Structure 1
């Protein structure tokens, strides 16, 4: 018996010794590398030929180090603490306007409804000239954004140039706590089907979705609900769990996490009674639905509680936690992977393995495991959330892509919006043939064609190569003929792509005339994914999809 006890005890002792040795080795290696970094930093600061900014140099080094891990592990200097708070709350002190640089000018491209900028009368397309008397020449959008943001209950004065008006306009705005709405729109798609869109999973997301569900079902009579998570990049894990709990009863595992440290090996369950345990629900996802969005969509799919419609989601199965560092800085670090109730991880890219160029790739299909929903339907790991019913996004052809990228639709809307007839209901707005013809003339009269086919771009590259190899003169006639054949014919190009461009232009005009609420009211009428969700819910076909193979 003693001999047996000895051999049982020996391996445990060996494991303890090996663990202690490994810990000591890791500690020594970390201390060694920190000492090397410190000495290199000191020598650079002392002897580099030009003056250095130690803080900027160290920040660059930290960011470069974290970039070798994954895109989600990030460093925040003390000056960026407002960004950390915004990620968690969706709130910031400011005026509710978003800006972009267009043609080297700072232009307002988005206005939050009901916030200071919109209330004061600023409009999309207004060009910022000054903020509190300071000219903006030479400042980037981050710097200008910092000037607009500030403590609540303070004022900021902006000078803007409005297209079509000769004189600059001055607006004084009262900064306040701006909250990007969790639910930017809710309403009825049909007499039976309600709809709500969720922007992100901030600390108030589940509460606001709960309110929206109550309004849709109790006040508006919705018998089915469409939950739109398209474009939702995620947020707080606890809010995703609370969101699932609105549809699933107490005690159900929503997600589990596994990390390097044992304290991150956890299982998270619903904690209360479901608000609407039997309400038929469709969840819409696309390639920008990530993280917490995938937890909600993946969990409801695994439990056969809702039908997922749209495109494959992004595939982010990693969990981050924000850590406090010295001198008021923070670091958001990936601490675990998460798994939906079936056991799958939706993470698409394998950041632990990079090729010789340092690139990261999706895991090979042959390495992926298959898991099963409650009703026995197959779901695959490593590919995000694959919809139960896929509705591919229409391909954007090069003409429309160029018009959008060059801001042609936006600029036309700014110039023409005040001359258009505006129905009271955004859903009734239609682009007339007259406005379309005006748009075609506008594009045709531009100095440069705002789009180029891949064929033309390839030809231009061929011309440059031929010139470098002295082959251009000998082939001049062939080049001239091909150039003429590939040259853009604006009227013909717009006519060939008229259906898609008219639709995009109509939607752009709606945004300028009715803002976000109108954009949803108008756009959902033509939204193929939302229309498919309505069809599945109201026909009862979603039940057949969720039933699984055992029902056949």
Structure 2
């Protein structure tokens, strides 16, 4: 009988072959051979004796995934089916129409057309429902299925039929013909001059050409204005390519400056990386914005700017990912992404927060306690620490989003109201000045009054926790009268809360509405107006003495 080996099984065999090349001095060959023999025999018996037919691909893939999950979250198996998504994540490129899509009421809808690409150029708008692609109904399709239909060869045509809300509250059916292009997702979705003389650059990813995009953004602003400072916004940036972290740092520091050293088990995985090009500006005072979602390559840039005393870091402590991954090919176009090294920024510190090789008695990983962190020094002698991400020089409080605002956003009522607003308002003022009037906010309150939504305030959560704890400790009967009285006093009123949280809800509405007219640039310009971290950065840049004191200059 002919033996058929599934793709994931071949991936396992490839991993086994790779294991075979490891030196006997570093690992027990007997242990490897023993466990692989057990696995092979187990799978053979399972395949022969199990009562039902097995899905080998699903089973082996689950086994691979579970095995890698025991190591760290970053060592991953990438199947042939997922290889294209992985390529897009690292290159930022694909061929299609250039739009984010989502689902609503069994329709796939446009949630954001990318500026400068076919979707935006053809007039597609956020909120448009896709009902047909090339004459074929896509009602009730999943977003992944629609995404595949929208992608294709650059230059090829695709025809959509959409439903769009009109000013009367009804939906028009419209045909939209587009020509697919190579889409390059921008690493710098927005840059601009704020407060008349501060260069603001938002860097959201580190795919290919990230450093060049930052270079071009700063160069463009320098050519148009006498700048007094730079703000590089790395908040929410999950990282990406190590080379692009070096290239980005190179925009702000001189050629041949050490940015990172990488240390792995193998010689080829240990090296030092320096800048290789000319900087755009090494003199202007600079602030880097960071938060708990700034990770990996973003931490290399933020950390190197801190260690070299090139910039003041403002925001919250970063994520703490100091691990480097290398991608290796497997049979049948699959890949494995393996953690091969740790990186160390210029002061010599590694900012990795979790040691995945050590776990507690329950098998959970733990963060390095502050008492075990080691002190290092920046170029000017400031003390910094390893083992827990990048600690900002100026710590700010993260914005607290009220549960009502979260609910309105999650239920898509803010998105849907922006769709209605766009249908009934042909134009708005420039995004940097756009603001909803009190009357317009009242219209939103009336509109949302008929919508179904529930939320729990922080006070109600605390009371619920008190009830649970007191019942467990058998005290609740003693306090029930007082508890019920207090509960009655804090029961929230939806309409009242819509006005209590007006400024916050209004901010989200203005962002979404501005994006309908000016796309992502409009959204960013509204966000900048409300951004407390950015305001702190601008204030800091206007205080040279304070900047110099922080940087020990």
Shared fold (TM-score, shorter chain, > 0.5) = yes
Counterpart selection for 2:149 from 127, 147, 154 = 147
Residue-by-residue CA offset, 1:138-179 (whole Å, 9 max, x unaligned): 643333322322332233333333343334333333222111
SS of the aligned residue for 2:376 comes to strand
SS of the aligned residue for 1:315 comes to coil
Aligned twin of 1:381 = 386
Separation in 2, partners of 1:368, 1:430: 47
Q: TM-score, normalised on structure 2? A: 0.87
- Deviation of residue 288 (structure 1)? 1.5
Separation in 2, partners of 1:483, 1:104: 39
Alignment of 1:90-105 (within 5 A): 90-105=92-107
Separation in 1, partners of 2:51, 2:299: 51
Listed as ranges, the gaps of 5+ residues in structure 2 are 1-21, 471-478
Residue-by-residue CA offset, 1:444-488 (whole Å, 9 max, x unaligned): 222x3342225556878999999xxxxxxxx99999877755544
**Over the residues paired in the alignment, what is the CA RMSD in angstroms?**
3.1
Give yes or no for the alignment of 1:511 onto 2:515.
yes
Aligned twin of 2:499 = 495
Separation in 2, partners of 1:106, 1:484: 42
Aligned twin of 1:437 = 442
Counterpart selection for 2:199 from 194, 197, 216 = 194
Aligned twin of 1:396 = 401
Partners of 2:251 and 2:280 within 8 A in 1? yes
Give the 3 Å change call, closer, same or farther, for CA 217–157 of structure 1 in structure 2. same
Counterpart selection for 1:33 from 32, 35, 39 = 35
Counterpart selection for 2:256 from 251, 257, 280 = 251
Partners of 2:407 and 2:454 within 8 A in 1? yes
Aligned twin of 1:292 = 297
Alignment of 1:428-467 (within 5 A): 428-446=433-451, 448-454=452-458, 456=460
Partners of 1:303 and 1:374 within 8 A in 2? yes
Separation in 2, partners of 1:200, 1:386: 21
Aligned twin of 1:111 = 113
Partners of 1:422 and 1:429 within 8 A in 2? no
Between Structure 1 and Structure 2, how many residues are aligned? 527
Residue-by-residue CA offset, 1:518-537 (whole Å, 9 max, x unaligned): 11222212211112212222
- Deviation of residue 508 (structure 1)? 2.0
Separation in 2, partners of 1:491, 1:185: 35
Give yes or no for the alignment of 1:172 onto 2:172.
no
Aligned twin of 1:472 = none
SS of the aligned residue for 2:392 comes to coil
SS of the aligned residue for 2:294 comes to coil
- Deviation of residue 391 (structure 1)? 2.1
Partners of 1:307 and 1:542 within 8 A in 2? no
Separation in 2, partners of 1:268, 1:407: 45
Separation in 2, partners of 1:129, 1:462: 50
Counterpart selection for 1:366 from 346, 366, 371 = 371
Separation in 2, partners of 1:478, 1:219: 65
- Deviation of residue 314 (structure 1)? 1.4
Partners of 2:106 and 2:140 within 8 A in 1? no
Give yes or no for the alignment of 1:47 onto 2:49.
yes
- Deviation of residue 134 (structure 1)? 4.3
Give the 3 Å change call, closer, same or farther, for CA 118–340 of structure 1 in structure 2. same
Aligned twin of 2:66 = 64
Separation in 2, partners of 1:295, 1:477: 56
Partners of 1:259 and 1:336 within 8 A in 2? yes
More displaced stretch, 303-312 vs 499-508: 499-508
Give yes or no for the alignment of 1:539 onto 2:543.
yes
Give yes or no for the alignment of 1:229 onto 2:231.
no
Listed as ranges, the gaps of 5+ residues in structure 1 are 1-18, 467-474
Give the 3 Å change call, closer, same or farther, for CA 105–50 of structure 1 in structure 2. farther
Separation in 1, partners of 2:204, 2:423: 30
Residue-by-residue CA offset, 1:402-458 (whole Å, 9 max, x unaligned): 111221211111122232473442111111111111111122222x33422255568
SS of the aligned residue for 1:168 comes to strand
Counterpart selection for 1:412 from 408, 417, 423 = 417
Separation in 2, partners of 1:485, 1:82: 55
